[in-house]
Amino acid sequence: MFSKLKLRRELDRIWQQFRGISDRITDPVLQLRLNRIVASGLPQLDGVLVSSDKIAIFLVFQPLGLSASTLETCRWLAENGYA
C-alpha cells in the first residue's frame, strides 16, 4: 500500500516529466540561437587593469543591482594585485 508521502513523490515526479516536454521543443531552438550569437563573436570590453599572475573569479547573483559591498570587494581585489 502506498503511503501519502510515496504517492505525493510519484505525482511530483510525473509532473516534472510533464513540464519537461516543453524543454524538448524549446531547447534545440534556444541552442541554435546561442550558437549563432557565439559564432558572430561575443562582445569584449577593454578593461583598465593590467594583466596579472593572480586572477580572481568572483561570482555574484544580485538581480536588484550590485551592492556597495560587492563593488568594494572588486576594488580590494584590484588593489591587492588580482586581475
pLDDT at 49: 80
Question: Could you tell me if 22 and 2 lie in one domain?
Answer: yes
pLDDT at 2: 67
Alpha carbon distance 32, 37 (integer Å) = 9
Question: Could you tell me if 35 and 60 lie in one domain?
Answer: no
Question: Could you tell me if 36 and 53 lie in one domain?
Answer: no
Question: What is the value of pTM for the model shown?
Answer: 0.46
Strand partners of residue 6: none
Question: Could you tell me if 67 and 53 lie in one domain?
Answer: yes
With a cut of 50, which residues of the chain have pLDDT below it? Answer: none
pLDDT at 11: 93
8 Å CB contact between 83 and 54: yes
8 Å CB contact between 52 and 81: yes
Question: Could you tell me if 39 and 62 lie in one domain?
Answer: no
Q: Please report, for residues 8, 9, 15, 16, the alpha-carbon distance to residue 4 in angstroms, rounded to integers and kept in the order given.
A: 6, 9, 16, 18
pLDDT at 48: 82
As separate numbers, helices (DSSP H) first and strands (DSSP E) second, the chain gives 2, 0
pLDDT at 1: 59
Question: Could you tell me if 4 and 31 lie in one domain?
Answer: yes
Which domain covers residue 77, as residue numbers?
Answer: 46-83
